[in-house]
Amino acid sequence: MATDDNKKGTDAISSVMSEKRKFPPPAAFSEKARIGSMEEYETLYKAAAEDPDSYWGGLAEEFHWFKKWDSVLEWDTPYAKWFNGGTTNICYNAVDVHANSWRKNKAAIIWEGEEGEQRVLTYGELHRQVSKFANVLRIAGIKPGDRVAIYMGMVPELVIAVLACARVGAVHNVIFAGFSAHAITERVNDSRAKLIICCDGTRRRGGSINLKNIVDEAIVNTPSVRSVIVLKVTGEEISMHDGMDHWWHDLMGLASDESEPVEVESEHPLFVLYTSGSTGKPKGILHTTAGYMVHAASSFRYVFDIRDDDIYWCTADVGWITGHSYMVYGPLLNGATLLMYEGAPNYPQWDRFWDIINRHKVTILYTAPTAIRAFIRAGDEWVTKHNISSLRLLGTVGEPINPEAWMWYHRVVGQEKCPIVDTWWQTETGGIMVSPLPGATPTKPGTATRPLPGIMADVVQKDGTPCGPNEGGYLVIKKPWPSMLRTIYGDNKRYEETYWSEFHDMYFTGDGARKDEDGYIWIMGRVDDVVNVSGHRLGTSEVESALVSYEAVAEAAVVSRPDDIKGNALVAFVTLKDEYEGDMKLREALRNHVAKEIGPIAKPDEIRWAKGLPKTRSGKIMRRLLRELATSNEIKGDVTTLEDFGVLENLREKEDES
Ligand code: WTA
């Protein structure tokens, strides 16, 4: 999540974490890997840096083009045209290419519902359904360039809808099915979507959420919407309005299953995905066709070192960028088999993930640190009672992973034999930017390590000069890359200001980071999560890691509040493991622990016990809310993305009250 207030301070960010453990890739993994040593990585990285056109052009050669491009990159800061002059279709490359090959009968999607229902779609079947639904879109009057909003649970038809949009050249805007009617209205109006595709409902923890009712409420205020297509999933009662609402199955019944993919230009818009800034309305991040295709596919192949016999599971919802790039496009462009699960990770109990992995013999798991920390809290026995030895590679994404959570993932889930790829990227970057290559890069808990070949990531000072080893600064990307956002939908000015006003010719990520002596990039959190305490700049995620490394702590979030003497004081919101009780003695022990791990300057000034932390529906801790609570004990800002309102109440209790 990028922020609008990408403020930068004057001081260098001082990084004080000293993680020394290092894990070389297992020999058995390296032997079979596409890139099996650091030497190979270095050679590739150097070649791509020296001649990016050949590097990206070479990767692009692997796809089907109706017409080949004239130039790899045309760059007029900050506007990029990749593969200009070429025409292609990403759906054709993700589906038809495989359906027309020996992969026709290979599983593309293995789906499991919360109650254990299962479906398998082969590439051949996926091709048939996507072609049919593309014809449905045409019946609904959708033309190339039209925006289509998709508000569905995690069912295969969600993937079918996304791909069918791409097939006809429509621009999809997936809205996470946990968002409110207000959030839908805001997004649909910003993108002026003509059509909404939704489900009647989606299953969650044994019950269901009625999505159609939410859409009904949303579209009262969306003049651009002409029709709604409704997929029957739960069969619950909904109202269907004449002229406006149509059943998915009725329209599919009318449509032929043959449809030619539309030939689109390389820079034809593929999707808009909204991401929240810390202030202002959500930003519609615009991605276009060919460049996104090339990087989503090639990064997936390198980072997950995918094989034809892999069963790959990304636990992200398609409503987020991870779901777009590494649940849908990356795997399908590579002809991989992906697993899709509609349901909660702890339903009916805390072993659901491990049970799924065992039953489907999942080989690659890609999930988020927040999930890992929840599993740690639930206890190892939920994992160890299942045979999960099919796993060969693990990944994380979305936030810095605390070294102790990394170690648990490595030891308990990876059984010390699976490399971990900690992947750093953003909605804006479209694909993974910084990550280990699992057969090559020695990993260290807590760092996403080195940039991928072709990605010129660096850590710089305020004036744009590179930082020295371990000197904290700002993470930037110095050269354009194919899957970069092209603009904020309908708002070039905001695009230029948010990402290009700080360093002009370099993309500013909004993250603080340092590079260690091996050139590994350690993300220190958003720049606005970096605080100045007594003249020292501290990454709040480092203080959090220190807290979480203490035995009693399950999860921690650290924010700052203004302090007359120190400039800022640190306030830690701490969730304890079930068997622990928060008291003054534990507070003192925690402060001393942080002082020991980092230094006395990082000691939280206040520690509040929290039953849970306020999170967005994608699992990110809402530090903005915590900052407001820490400062004024009130919440004034927007809370529409909050997952569980209940957690806010007990966070108001100040230190002296418990
Ligand atoms: C953070 C998610 C540390 C970072 C793909 C970034 C990470 C923001 C990592 C983007 C990681 C993501 N280590 N921090 N491996 N991955 N982040 O747009 O602050 O939801 O700027 O994209 O998440 O979040 P977004």
Nearest CA to ligand 1 atom 12: 398
In 3-state terms, what secondary structure has residue 423? strand
Exposure b/e, 317-339, CB count within 10 A at least 16 = b? bbbbbbbbbbbbbbbbbbbbbbb
Q: Best of 322, 426, 526 to mutate for ligand 1, by most ligand atoms within 8 A of CB?
A: 426
Nearest residue to 69 via CA among 87, 51, 53, 55? 87
Count the alpha carbons within 13 Å of 523 in the hemisphere toward its beta carbon: 30
Where are the domains positioned within the chain? Answer: 526-657
548 is in an annotated binding site: yes
Tokens (6 digits) for 439: 């057969």
pLDDT in tens, 95-118: 999 999 999 999 999 999 999 999
Looking at the DSSP assignment, which residues form a beta bridge with residue 195? 148, 227
pLDDT in tens, 494-510: 999 989 999 989 999 98
21 is in an annotated binding site: no
Query: What's the pLDDT score for residue 81?
Result: 98
Nearest CA to ligand 1 atom 8: 1
Cis geometry, peptide bond prior to residue 438 (ω within 30 degrees of 0): no
Q: Is the beta carbon of 316 within 6 A of some atom in ligand 1?
A: no
CATH of 526-657, one of 3.40.50.970, 3.40.109.10, 3.40.50.720, 3.30.300.30: 3.30.300.30
Whether the CB-CB separation of 436 and 422 falls below 8 Å is answered with yes
Query: Confidence class of residue 9 from pLDDT cuts 50, 70 and 90?
Result: very low
Query: Confidence class of residue 278 from pLDDT cuts 50, 70 and 90?
Result: very low
Q: Is the pLDDT of residue 641 over 80?
A: no
Q: Is the beta carbon of 400 within 6 A of some atom in ligand 1?
A: yes
Exposure b/e, 417-426, CB count within 10 A at least 16 = b? ebbbbbbbbb
pLDDT in tens, 219-268: 999 999 999 999 999 999 999 999 999 999 999 999 999 999 999 999 99
Q: Is the pLDDT of residue 618 over 80?
A: no
Tell me the ipTM for this assembly: 1.00
Burial class (CB in 10 A: 0-12, 13-18, 19+), 223: exposed
Distance of CA 536 to the CA centre of its chain: 31
Q: Is the pLDDT of residue 14 over 60?
A: no
Query: What's the pLDDT score for residue 538?
Result: 65
Mean pLDDT of the chain: 91
Nearest residue to 77 via CA among 483, 410, 466, 507? 507
Number of alpha helices (DSSP H) and beta strands (DSSP E) in the chain: 22, 31
Q: Which of 15-29, 251-265, 354-368 has the lowest mean pLDDT?
A: 15-29
Query: Confidence class of residue 283 from pLDDT cuts 50, 70 and 90?
Result: confident
Q: Is the beta carbon of 275 within 6 A of some atom in ligand 1?
A: yes
Query: Confidence class of residue 524 from pLDDT cuts 50, 70 and 90?
Result: confident
Nearest CA to ligand 1 atom 6: 426
343 Rama class: left (phi>0) / alpha (psi -120 to 50) / beta: left
Distance of CA 316 from the midpoint of ligand 1 (Å) = 13
Nearest CA to ligand 1 atom 1: 399
Q: Is the pLDDT of residue 290 over 60?
A: yes
Nearest CA to ligand 1 atom 15: 424
Distance of CA 107 to the CA centre of its chain: 24
> In what helix (H) or strand (E) does residue 51 lie, and over which residues does it extend?
none
pLDDT in tens, 442-480: 999 999 999 999 999 999 999 999 999 999 999 999 999
